[in-house]
Amino acid sequence: MDSRTNNADQVEKEGMADNKSSRRQFLKKMSIAAAAGSASLVVGGCGGSPKSEEMGLKWEEYFKEHYRLMTQEEKDATVKRLERLAKLERGVDVQISNQGPHEQVLYGYAFNISRCKGYMDCVEACVKENNLDRRAKTQYVRIFEMDPGKLDPTAGDGQFYHEVPVKNKFYMGVQCFHCENAPCIKACPTKATWREPDGIVVVDYDWCSGCRYCLAACPYWGRRFNWGDPEVPKEEINLNQHYLGNRMRMKGVMEKCTFCVQRTRKGKLPACADACPTGSRVFGNLLDPNSEIRFVLKNKKVFRFKEDLGTDPKFWYFMD
Amino acid sequence: MNKIPYGVGVFLMVLAVVVLVDQSAVASGAPGTESVTDRINHATEPYDSMKVTTAHELSAKTVQSKEQYQGGDFKILARKGEISRFRCSVCHNDKPILAQNGVLFTHGDVKLNHGLGKNQLTCNECHSMGNRDFLVNKEGRKIDFDHSYQLCGKCHFRQKRDWLGGAHGKRETYWGGERVVRNCTSCHNPHSPAFATKMPATYSLPLDE
């Protein structure tokens, strides 16, 4: 089963490599030649200033490989460059991980609609954990206040701000559902978004061209676009970052919930599940028959949102 | 008309069915992969979550649960260290106390709101009369404060079943590594277990679409 997945991955990657090798290699050679030229110019001008170091790093970043085609050394190198750039540009000492997926792990999520009280601690925790834009008030998680009998969040109120819970209402959380058959991945013309072997749908922010096809393709409003440069106060930046997760985004790229890849691959719960004071959020390994998420799927009434679309999301709703 | 032999006809039909089934299997999931439901159904081998070596030991005090979940033994957050005036027998003993300390010694801060309507519980329906360092159930069995699920579950048996399995309550910090879950009183105030109404932590703006 897993070998099939890996084979498909492999074939896809090789396809990607074939498509662009000649053009990209040509560009790369050009860039090296140009870099040599410009480096000599810069060194001649103002030898080794932080500005020229920043320029050099950005130059190398611009001509790097697609993340999935990088070797481990190349991944380590880009992470090191990004850490240095964060120091030069923002003056923060971030740690960017490129930790890969665990074998025999497929992440899944369940949300208890009869327990959630609409406190929105999950949203707050997500914003802090993932360095979300404070100015545009970007949020990956949305909570809808729903009338009884309705199960479609569009029928609910997503902008409530009053004492919760309100009698005779229930609360329903929506975020990226990390579909196995994700329409956003198919829509991406640059292959900047893909599904990792542990099921997390991620974005390479450096490969995203900002066309927003994925935003239009997602039937769950799971994706967010950076219309401007994201603003996070320096002292609030979460320094524990992941290349595919909460590292700083830039203007004109897509971002989305990554199940907190920087946390989950270290064995931690996503920030939203960890912050929930009501226990409405269950997270775990779908391939482990003893996990909590599997208990929910086996023993509870569960449903998935818009299951008829065939997107095969890994996010279930359940009730007591 | 040239006739197709019977055997060849059957073979072609079987082939057609196989091809159709194969195509529908592909259509149900991502290309070249099984659907999530299929993958879940095929995954019957327990995952050794101790392989996630970055799931460190918690700084909070934990105790071994006296009951098991579907994966065997697990740990729960300890309770006794959280009770500010434990052990209770420090005060609840035969020694006389001064009347001027009465305010400190009585539990005037405890507001009981446990039970529906007029069927409110009283102190000694959970706390042992004989030994104040323990809880007590209706059968008169002493129950340790760290293992209050054994008492709570007497009435809230559905919640206890879900808590053992993982559909009620929550794990502490990690999904991997050793299973450590919160106990009943980590989230619920045992004297007033219902969650309070309050203002949400934040609010949302309309989505741009």
How far does CA A37 lie from the centroid of its chain? Answer: 37
Where does the pLDDT of residue B98 fall: very low under 50, low under 70, confident under 90, or very high at 90 and above?
Answer: confident
Interface touch B55/A7, C-beta < 8 Å: no
Q: How far apart are CA A82 and CA A88, in angstroms?
A: 10
pLDDT at B178: 94
Give how far A88 is from chain B: nearest CA, Å.
Answer: 30
pLDDT at A171: 97
> For B44, which of A279, A289, A295 is closest by C-beta distance?
A289
What's the rounded mean pLDDT across residues B55-69? 93
| Interface membership of A240 toward B (CB under 8 Å) | no
Which of A128, A137, A188, A288 has the highest number of chain B CBs within 10 A, making it the mutation to test binding with B?
A288
**pLDDT digit string (tens) for B155-165?**
999 999 999 99
Q: Which residue has the higher pLDDT, B5 or A233?
A: A233
Interface touch B36/A180, C-beta < 8 Å: yes
CB pairs under 8 A between A and B: 192
Strands laid side by side in the B180-181 sheet: B62-64, B75-77, B180-181
**The domain A94-320 is classified under which CATH number: 2.30.40.10, 3.40.190.10, 3.90.380.10, 3.30.70.20?**
3.30.70.20
DSSP sequence for A129-187? HTT--TTTT--S-EEEEE-TT---GGGSBSS--SSBSPTT-EEEEE-----TT-HHHHH
**pLDDT digit string (tens) for B68-91?**
999 999 999 999 999 988 898 888
pLDDT at B29: 42
All residues of chain B having their beta carbon less than 8 Å from the beta carbon of residue A277 are: 187, 195
Interface touch B167/A295, C-beta < 8 Å: yes
pLDDT at A21: 55
pLDDT at A236: 96
**Mean pLDDT estimate for chain A:** 89
Give how far B71 is from chain A: nearest CA, Å.
Answer: 5
Residue of B nearest to A158 (CA): B204
Q: How far apart are CA A278 and CA A275, in angstroms?
A: 9
* B47, B114 Cβ separation under 8 angstroms: no
Where does the pLDDT of residue B34 fall: very low under 50, low under 70, confident under 90, or very high at 90 and above?
Answer: confident
The answer on pLDDT for B193 being more than 70 is yes
pLDDT at A253: 97
Residue of B nearest to A105 (CA): B47
All residues of chain A having their beta carbon less than 8 Å from the beta carbon of residue B35 are: 180-181, 312
Give how far B68 is from chain A: nearest CA, Å.
Answer: 12
pLDDT at B89: 87
- In percent, the amount of chain B with pLDDT more than 70 equals 83
All residues of chain B having their beta carbon less than 8 Å from the beta carbon of residue A314 are: 36
* B134, B144 Cβ separation under 8 angstroms: yes
> For B167, which of A105, A108, A282 is closest by C-beta distance?
A282
> For A266, which of B42, B54, B187 is closest by C-beta distance?
B54
Would you kindly state where each structural domain of chain A is located, as residue ranges?
A: 2-77, 94-320
pLDDT at B33: 67
* Cβ contacts of B137 within 8 Å, gap of 6 or more: B143, B150, B151, B154
**Mean pLDDT estimate for chain B:** 86
* A127, A139 Cβ separation under 8 angstroms: yes
Lowest mean pLDDT segment, chosen from A53-67, A197-211, B19-33, B45-59:
B19-33
Interface touch B205/A159, C-beta < 8 Å: yes
Interface touch A163/B203, C-beta < 8 Å: no
> For B70, which of A295, A314, A320 is closest by C-beta distance?
A295
| Interface membership of A78 toward B (CB under 8 Å) | no
Number of Cβ atoms within 10 Å of the Cβ of A284: 28
Interface touch B199/A225, C-beta < 8 Å: no
Interface touch A287/B201, C-beta < 8 Å: no
Mean pLDDT by 10 residues, chain A (320 residues): 50 54 61 55 54 92 94 96 95 96 96 96 97 95 94 91 96 96 96 96 96 95 94 96 96 97 97 97 97 97 94 95
pLDDT at A40: 47
Q: What is this model's ipTM?
A: 0.82
All residues of chain A having their beta carbon less than 8 Å from the beta carbon of residue B71 are: 290-291
* B163, B181 Cβ separation under 8 angstroms: yes
All residues of chain A having their beta carbon less than 8 Å from the beta carbon of residue B44 are: 289
Identify the DSSP state of B57. Answer: P
**pLDDT digit string (tens) for B129-168?**
989 999 999 999 999 999 999 999 999 999 999 999 999 9
* A240, A216 Cβ separation under 8 angstroms: no
What's the rounded mean pLDDT across residues B177-197? 95
| Interface membership of A159 toward B (CB under 8 Å) | yes
* Cβ contacts of B107 within 8 Å, gap of 6 or more: none
> For B167, which of A287, A299, A310 is closest by C-beta distance?
A299
pLDDT at A166: 96
pLDDT at B20: 52
> For A164, which of B29, B35, B200 is closest by C-beta distance?
B200
* Cβ contacts of A55 within 8 Å, gap of 6 or more: A42
